[in-house]
Structure 1
C-alpha cells in the first residue's frame, strides 16, 4: 500500500465519521433560518399552555380544563413531557426557545439517520436518502411534540433493524428509550408494533438451530418494551389512549395531517416513490420477504395518512440499507479508534459555533407564530365583550386557550370525538347550514370568532339576530343581538 493510498483511506474514514455531524449541522442551520415556519401550527400555543399548567400544578391533566363544550370530560396528555419542555424553554427564551428546540430535535433526527445508514452504505447513497427524508418531512417539521419524538423513533427502529441485520436480538439497554418515547408522544405505540415484523425478519434469516432461542429473546424484549411503555404518569392509559384517535372514524379525513396522499398535482412524495420504483426496476434490486412486507406497510401508511410520510421517509432507508449495500456496494470499515479524540474536539467546536450563531440570529430576528392562526387584535376586542361562549374557527382554538378564552373547539381531536368534529365541520363549512344554527342554539353561543373569508362568517353578516362588531384581515366577530337585523353591507359598531 502506498503512502498516498493510505492517506486517502484515512481521509475517507474521517469523512465517514463526521458525515452525521455535518448532516446535523446543515439541517439545523436550515431550520433555524426557516425560523417562523416551525411556528406555523396553531396547536403549538395550546401545547405550551398545557405544559405550563403541568409545571404550575406539578401534576398531569386528567380532565379538560380549557374548553366550555367539553369542560370536565376525561382527557389525558400522552405528550406531557414534550409539552413541559416546550413550556419551560418558552418561559426562558420566548418564541425563539421552541424554534431552537424543534430545530435541534429535527437535526438530531437526520444526523442519527445518516449515522445508521453509513454503517452499510457509502456516503453518496446515505446523503441521497437523507436528502429525500428532509424533503418529505419538511412540511411536518413544526414546534410540536412529535418532532421531539422523531430522533427517538429513528434510534429505536435503527437499533431493532441493526439487531435483525446481525441475526440477533436488541439490547435491553434500549428499553429506557421506549419509556422516554411513551412520555414524549403517543407515537410510541407504533414503535411497539414494529417489534413483531422486525423480530420475525431476524428469526427467519437466522440459522435454523438458533431460531427458537432468538425468538424467545425477542419475545422477552417485546414484553419488557410493553412494560417500559407504561412507565408514565398515566400507566396503562397512555397505551390505551391511541384507541380514541382510531375511534375518530369519519372525522379523521377532516384533519389536514390525516388526509390521504393526493396525486392530483406532482408532490415530493410521488417523485420519491416513482424514483424508488424506477431504481428498483433498473438495478434489479431485491429484498428479503419480510423487508418487503415492512416496506409495503410503510408505503401504505404514507399513502393513507399525510402525517405518515415522515415515518416512511425516515424508516424506509433503515429497512433498505443492508440489502441495498449487498447489491449496489456498501461502506468500508468503520473509522479507526485513533480518530475519536479528534472527532470529539470537532463536535465540541461545532457545538460552540452553533450556539453562538443561534444567539446572534435570535437577537437579530423576531420569532413569532403565524398571524393567520393568531387573531391577536380580534381576541383583544373579544375579551372586552365579556362573553363566555364563543363559536370559534378550528385553527383559532390554540390561540384562544393560550389567551385564557375557553374555545368551542381546538386541536385536541381525541377529546371532542367523531360526532362533534363531523357536526362542527358541517356547520363551519356550511355543507349543512342548518347545522350551524343548531350548534349556535344548542351551546347558547354568545359570539363567534371566525375567519373573515369563511363561509360561516359571511352568512352571519346577513342573518337577523347577529351583529358584526369587529373584523380585520384575519378574523371577524359577530355577537348575538336580540332584534338585530342584517344589511347588505353590515356596519361595524364603533368601539
Structure 2
C-alpha cells in the first residue's frame, strides 16, 4: 500500500495523458479511433491502438474522479499484482512472512516501473497466467484452467497488446513437459492451454494483425524509448533485477518447476532484448525465491538469516511508509517539473502547437481544442519524425521550415529552440515555467 501511494502521488508518465483522452474519445464515439485525431503533423493517418481497453478504463476513472481517479485505479492494479505474487509464493511453499519480506526487499527496484500505464496489466496478467498453468500441470480441474487461460488472454490482449508474452510462456512450458516421459500427460494439457492462449490473444479488434503491430512497436521504439533498449550491464538497477531473475530461474530449474522455469526463461531473454520486461522477470522470481528461502530457514541454524531478512524488509517497509505519506496530499498530480499546467492554459484557442515529445500527451488531455505536433505515440509517428522533432528542439537545422504550420511553440525554456525564438521578432514569449516556455507567432 505505501508503494502504491508513493507512485500514485505524482503522474510522471507522458503516455498516461493521451491514453486518458483516447479512452474518453472511444467512449464518446463508442468505437475505436482508426485515424489520428490529435496532431496537425499526421492528422488523419491510420492509427492502431495497442491498449484500447486500458484507455477506456482510465478514461472512465477520469470521468468519475479526474486524474486522482486514474492514479488510484492504477494503484489498484499494482495491489492486485502484489496479491497474486503472494498467492503464488504460498502455492510454492513459502511462509507468509518470507513471501512478504522478499516482496518488500525487491520493491525498491520495481518503483520506477509502476507508473500509470498499460504495462501494469502485463504484470498482473502474467502472474494470474502462471497460477492457471500450475493448475493445468498439477491436474487440478485442468480443463477449467485451460478455459480460464483463454479467457484471461482475451481480456489481457484487449487491455494491452503485450499478451503474446503469455503465449510464449505457455508454449515453452508445454515443450519442457513433453521432453520428459513422466510429464507428457501434463505437457499435452499445456499444449491445449497454449492453443487456448493463442486463441484468446487473437480475440482482439485487429486479429492476426497483433503480430505485425507488436513488431512495429518494437522497431519504432528501440531507438527513442529507453525501456525498449537492450539491457545495460553497467546499470546497477538493471543488473540487480536481472540477478534476481536469474536466482529465481536457478531455483525453479532445481525444483523442476516447468511453469516458473518457462516464465523466467522467457522473461530473462526478453529482458536482455528490452529492459521493459525486467519488472515481469522480478515479479515471477519473487515466489520462487521466497519458497527457496523458506526451505533454507526451516532449521535452527538458519534462524539468524531469517531474522536478518525480516529485519531488513521491515526497515524497507518503514522507509516506504515515510516516503509515501507526503504523496497523500497530491494523489494524481502531474509532475510539476515536467508538465507546465499553468502555461498550457495560456495556449490560444485552436492553435497548432509545436511541442516537445514529453509534453504532447499532457497538452492534448488538458486542451483538447488544440492540435499537437507530436506526443509519445512513437509507434504511430515513427522514429524519423521523433528524431527530427528532437533536432529542431535543440535548435538545429532550418527552424523556419520546421515550424511551418505551427502557431505556437511549447518547449523547455533551456532548449536551443527556445533560445532562438527569444531572439526572433516573429515570435513572442507568452508564458514560461520550468516545464515549458510558450511562444506565439507575432
Is the structural similarity TM-score above 0.5?
Answer: yes
Instruction: Give the secondary structure class of the aligned counterpart of 1:180.
Output: helix
- Within 5 Å, which residues of 2 pair with 1:50-449? 50-123=22-95, 124-161=97-134, 163-164=136-137, 171-207=146-182, 211=184, 214-248=186-220, 251-264=221-234, 266-267=236-237, 269-274=238-243, 286=254, 295-317=264-286, 324=292, 328=296, 367-383=332-348, 387-388=351-352, 390-402=353-365, 403-404=367-368, 405-429=370-394, 433-434=396-397, 438-441=401-404, 444-449=405-410
Aligned-partner Cα distance in 2 for 1:191–1:99: 26
The answer on whether the counterparts of 2:227 and 2:275 sit within 8 Å (CA) in structure 1 is: yes
Structure 1 pair 455–227 and aligned structure 2 pair: CA distance change class (3 A): same
Alpha-carbon distance, 1:59 to partner = 1.0
Q: Quick one: which of 411, 436, 439 aligns to 1:475?
A: 436
Q: Does structure 2 retain, via aligned residues, the 8 Å contact 1:426–1:436?
A: no
User: Offset at 1:292?
Assistant: 6.3
Q: Among 41, 47, 60, which residue is 2:19 paired with? A: 47
Larger radius of gyration: 1
How has the CA–CA distance of structure 1 residues 400 and 178 changed in structure 2, closer, same or farther, with 3 Å as cutoff? same
**Relative to structure 1, is the Cα distance of residues 222 and 63 closer, same or farther in structure 2, using a 3 angstrom cutoff?**
same
Give 1:313 deviation, angstroms. Answer: 1.0
Hey, which bits of structure 1, 4+ residues long, moved more than 6 A? 165-169, 275-281, 289-293, 319-322, 361-364
Provide the secondary structure at the position in 2 that maps to 1:187. Answer: helix
Provide the secondary structure at the position in 1 that maps to 2:345. Answer: helix
Inter-CA distance 274–77: structure 2 relative to 1 (3 Å threshold): closer
Deviation by residue 1:337-387 (Cα, 9 ceiling, x = unmatched): xxxxxxxxxxxxxxxxxxxxxxxx999656422223332222222225x53
Deviation at 1:258, TM superposition (A): 2.5
Shift of 1:62: 1.3
Distance 1:416 1:372 in 2: 25
Distance, in Å, in 2 between the alignment partners of 1:101 and 1:280 is: 32
Q: Secondary structure at the match of 2:354?
A: strand
- After TM superposition, the structure 1 stretch with the greater mean CA deviation from structure 2, 464-473 or 67-76, is 464-473
The CA deviation at 1:266 is: 3.5
* Distance across 1 between alignment mates of 2:431 and 2:330: 31
Equivalent-residue separation in structure 2 for 1:395 and 1:89 (angstroms)? 23
- 1:310 deviates by 1.0
Q: How far apart, CA to CA, are the structure 2 residues paired with 1:365 and 1:320?
A: 36
Change (3 A) 1:294 1:99: closer
* C-alpha separation in 1, matches of 2:239 and 2:44: 44
Partners of 1:279 and 1:113 in 2: CA distance = 13
Query: What TM-score does the superposition give when structure 2 sets the normalisation length?
Result: 0.80
The 2-side partners of 1:474 and 1:205 are apart by 59
CA contact (8 A) 1:161 1:198 kept: no
Which region of structure 1 is more displaced relative to structure 2, 251-260 or 361-370? 361-370
Extract unaligned runs of 5+ from structure 2: 299-325
Q: Does the residue aligned with 1:434 lie in a helix, a strand or coil?
A: coil
Change (3 A) 1:377 1:306: same
Stretches of structure 1 lacking an aligned partner (at least 5 in a row): 1-27, 331-360, 482-495
**Does structure 2 conserve the Cα–Cα contact (< 8 Å) formed by 1:229 and 1:239?**
no
Query: C-alpha distance in 1, partners of 2:330/2:364?
Result: 26
Given the superposition, is the C-alpha separation of residues 258 and 437 from structure 1 closer, same or farther in structure 2, using an over 3 Å criterion? farther
Deviation per CA, 1:23-52: give whole Å up to 9, x if none: xxxxx3441355323x22122121111111
CA displacement at 1:64 relative to structure 2: 1.0
The Cα of 1:55 is off from its aligned counterpart by 1.1
The equivalent of 2:303 in structure 1 is: none
Q: Separation in 2 of the partners of 1:133 and 1:260?
A: 21
Q: 1:112, 1:155 within 8 Å by CA — same for their partners in 2?
A: yes
